[in-house]
C-alpha cells in the first residue's frame, strides 16, 4: 500500500463473514477510517491488497470503494489508483447521506435526542408516500438533531416495519442509515426531496431555540433502497442559519464533488432581538 511517508494508516482488519453486517459495509467503514487519518492525495490500498487482506471478491471491494467515491471522500483514476480527497467538506448532490455522516465529515460533533418513538399504523398520507396498505405497521419517530450541542433540526420519520423488524429506540440514537444498511442490508441509493421556506411554530421554535415565526426550512424526503423499495419518509424543520442545501443544475460533467446539505456557523445571536419563547418541549 502506497501512502505518504509521514502518515500512519490503520491496518486492514479481518472481516466477519458470520456477522449481521454485510461484508461490503464492514470494508467500507474500514476504508472510511483509513481515509480519515490520511492526508489528502494519499493513495488508498489497492484492490489486490484488499483482496489479500480480507479474502473478499473484487466486486465487493469495488462496491465499498464506489460508495465512498460517491460520498466525495475518495476519488478513483482508472489505471492509477484510489486517492483520499478528505479536504472536501461536501459530498456530491443526491448522495443519500445521514445527518451523522454530513456533520462528522466537516469536523463537527453531531448529537441526537429522541423526542418520541413508537410503532403505529400508516394513515392515508404515510401509506401513499411509502406505497403501503392503509393501516400497515410503521415505525414513527421524532428526533432533535444538534451540531456541537446547538439544536439544528427536528426530524419526523416513518419507516415500514416489515423492512426494519425489531427496530429499537436505541437504534435511533445514532445514524439510522447505518443501522438500515448494516443490520437490514438495505442499500440507500436514491430519494426525492422537496424543500420550502416556512415560519417556525411555537413548538418547533422552542426545540430549535429560535423566535416563534422565524424563517426556517422544511424539507420532506422519500428515500429508496437499491431494490426500489421505499424505506423512509422524513420531514425536517431546519434552522436556516445552520444548514444549507446546494443543488446541481443540469447534467454538468464537472469532475468535482458538489455539496449537499451541510451545517454552517449560526448567525450572530445579536440578530435576534425578541426573547426566546418559554414554551417547553413536550
CB neighbourhood size of 229 (10 A): 14
* Paired residues of 142 in beta bridges: 116, 156
CA 141, CA 114: separation in Å to the nearest integer? 8
Residue 58 dihedral angles phi and psi, to the nearest 5° = -60, -35
Are residues 134 and 124 in contact, defined by beta-carbon separation less than 8 angstroms? yes
pLDDT at 5: 34
Are residues 74 and 119 in contact, defined by beta-carbon separation less than 8 angstroms? no
- Give yes or no for residue 226 having a pLDDT over 60: yes
Max avg pLDDT among 87-96, 131-140, 237-246, 269-278 = 131-140
More confident residue, 106 or 252: 106
More confident residue, 106 or 186: 186
Are residues 217 and 200 in contact, defined by beta-carbon separation less than 8 angstroms? no
| Size (the chain), residues | 282
Handedness of CA 72, 192, 132, 143 (dihedral sign): positive
Q: What is the pLDDT of residues 125-157, one digit of tens each?
A: 899 999 999 999 999 999 998 887 888 889 999
Burial 168-179 (b: 16+ CB within 10 A, else e): eeebbeebbbbb
- Give yes or no for residue 222 having a pLDDT over 80: yes
List domains and CATH numbers for the chain: 23-84 (1.10.10.10), 99-271 (3.40.1410.10)
Instruction: Kindly report which listed range (73-77, 159-163, 171-175, 227-231) carries the lowest average pLDDT score.
Output: 73-77
Task: Please report where in the chains the cell 464492514 appears, as a residue.
Answer: 26
State pTM to two decimals.
0.57
CA 38, CA 197: separation in Å to the nearest integer? 39
CA 108 to chain centroid: 14
CA 112, CA 91: separation in Å to the nearest integer? 22
- Residue percentage of the chain with pLDDT more than 70: 76
Q: How far apart are the first and last CA of the chain?
A: 53
Average pLDDT across the chain, whole number: 77
Q: What is the pLDDT of residues 264-274, one digit of tens each?
A: 555 443 333 33
CA 60, CA 266: separation in Å to the nearest integer? 41
CA 251, CA 172: separation in Å to the nearest integer? 35
Instruction: Give the CA dihedral 275, 279, 281, 282, nearest 10 degrees.
Output: -170
Amino acid at each position: 500500500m502506497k501512502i505518504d511517508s509521514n502518515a500512519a494508516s490503520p491496518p486492514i482488519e479481518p472481516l466477519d463473514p458470520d456477522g449481521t453486517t454485510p461484508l461490503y459495509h464492514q470494508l467500507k467503514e474500514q476504508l472510511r477510517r483509513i481515509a480519515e487519518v490520511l492526508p489528502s492525495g494519499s493513495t488508498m490500498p489497492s484492490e489486490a491488497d484488499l483482496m489479500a487482506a480480507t479474502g473478499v471478491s473484487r466486486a465487493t471491494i469495488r462496491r465499498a470503494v464506489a460508495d465512498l467515491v460517491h460520498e466525495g471522500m475518495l476519488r478513483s483514476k482508472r489505471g492509477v489508483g484510489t486517492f483520499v480527497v478528505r479536504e472536501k467538506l461536501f459530498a456530491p448532490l443526491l448522495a443519500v447521506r445521514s445527518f451523522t455522516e454530513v456533520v462528522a465529515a466537516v469536523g463537527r460533533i453531531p448529537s441526537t435526542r429522541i423526542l418520541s418513538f413508537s410503532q403505529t399504523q400508516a394513515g392515508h398520507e404515510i401509506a401513499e408516500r411509502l406505497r403501503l396498505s392503509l393501516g400497515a405497521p410503521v415505525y414513527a419517530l421524532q428526533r432533535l438533531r444538534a451540531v456541537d450541542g446547538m439544536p439544528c433540526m427536528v426530524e419526523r420519520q416513518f419507516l415500514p416495519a416489515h423492512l426494519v423488524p425489531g427496530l429499537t429506540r436505541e437504534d435511533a440514537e445514532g445514524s439510522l442509515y447505518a443501522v438500515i444498511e448494516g443490520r437490514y442490508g438495505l442499500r440507500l441509493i436514491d430519494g426525492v426531496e422537496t424543500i420550502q421556506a416556512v415560519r417556525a411554530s411555537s413548538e418547533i421554535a422552542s426545540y430549535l431555540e429560535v423566535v416563534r415565526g422565524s424563517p426556517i426550512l422544511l424539507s420532506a424526503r422519500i428515500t429508496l433502497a437499491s431494490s426500489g423499495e421505499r424505506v423512509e419518509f422524513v420531514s425536517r424543520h431546519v434552522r436556516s442559519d445552520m444548514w444549507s442545501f446546494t443543488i446541481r443544475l443540469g447534467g454538468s460533467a464537472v469532475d468535482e464533488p458538489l455539496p449537499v446539505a451541510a451545517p454552517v456557523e449560526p448567525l450572530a445571536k445579536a440578530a435576534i432581538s425578541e426573547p426566546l419563547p418559554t414554551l417547553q418541549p413536550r
